[in-house]
Amino acid sequence: MNQSYIDFKIDNGFSADEILSKSRSLKSVLEPFSSKGNIDLLKRAGFKDILTVFKYLSFEGFLAIK
């Protein structure tokens, strides 16, 4: 998935230096939670019914009802 995104950036005119610089600046800043981690956060926020409604590659959407 990462390589596909890098290819997309190259195809859209980003230089290798720009891509590498951005990757380094985001490293350890955008650490995604696991599905369980996200569900635990939703439960702590008071949501009772939680359902995954979308999952594609590393993206996941939840429907959560209090």
* Nearest of 66, 36, 41 to residue 52 by alpha carbon: 36
Residue 2: what pLDDT?
83
CA distances, 9 to each of 14, 26, 39, 41 (Å): 5, 16, 32, 32
Domain that holds residue 64: 33-66
Q: What is the per-residue pLDDT across 13-66, written as a single tens digit (0 to 9) for each? A: 999 999 999 888 887 777 778 999 999 999 999 999 999 999 988 789 999 999
User: Could you give the number of structural domains in the chain?
Assistant: 2
The pTM is what?
Answer: 0.58
21 shares its domain with 39:
no
49 shares its domain with 59:
yes
* Nearest of 27, 26, 7 to residue 16 by alpha carbon: 7
3-state SS, residue 6? helix
Residue 30: what pLDDT?
72
How far apart are the C-alpha atoms of 27 and 19, rounded to whole Å? Answer: 12
